[in-house]
Amino acid sequence: MKHIVLLGDSIFDNGAYVSGGPDVIQQLRERLPAGWQATLRAVDGSVTSGVKGQLHRLPKDASHLVISVGGNDALGQSSVLERGARSVADAVGKLADIQEEFGRSYQAMLDHVLALGLPTAVCTIYDANYPDAGRQRLVVTALSVFNDCITREAFARGLPLVDLRLICDRAEDYANPIEPSVRGGEKISAAILRLVTEHDFSRRRAGVFT
């Protein structure tokens, strides 16, 4: 029997944002075949370095790990969008510094997770849903810096990737600009179940689930 554990941040730990509706873990549990289990270890507000602490509370029979983290790292760097720059090169250089810092943190996190030897998948950071079109455009562009790190690591390490950018692609998928709604959680949980039931983890070959 499989026991799926969700790690990361409020993309999975979204109960506070769905007004009493089912959160991601509840929706995933409702989809599971008889005898399967799902456990939430993701914590709202966590950054990438916080996943290491979540590993200390893994169920002993955990069979699959799914990680969605990085959005709060990006939020912590969001002030860069308001800073002035002397040139385009200067602006790109600031983004490059942020990308390098996040890349190191994400690599270190995956090193800790994969040392456990459990089948593991990662998620991209979705595009968010800001009502102001100009802000949304900037956010999506800036997030590509973080998502490049995530996808590179997934492909280099042969990990399956759940692309939340393609899954949460409508306004109704968001409870607010940055948290998944009940509808978004439904789509996320469905993708996780497809991942666990369809992907051959023994081959260590990357694949994308949408």
DSSP strand E in the chain: where? 3-8, 37-40, 64-68, 120-123, 161-162, 208-209
Domains of the chain: 3-209 (3.40.50.1110)
Cα torsion angle, 85, 90, 93, 97, sign: negative
Q: Do strands 161-162 and 64-68 pair parallel, antiparallel, or not at all (unpaired)?
A: unpaired
Distance CA 117, CA 4 (A): 14
Residue 26, both tokens: 């509840």
The structure tokens listed for 19 are: 């007004």
- How confident is the model at residue 16, as a pLDDT? 96
- Quickly state the pLDDT bin for 204 (edges 50, 70, 90): confident
Q: Please determine, for residue 86, whether its predicted confidence score (pLDDT) is greater than 90.
A: no
Question: What average pLDDT does the structure give for the chain?
Answer: 93
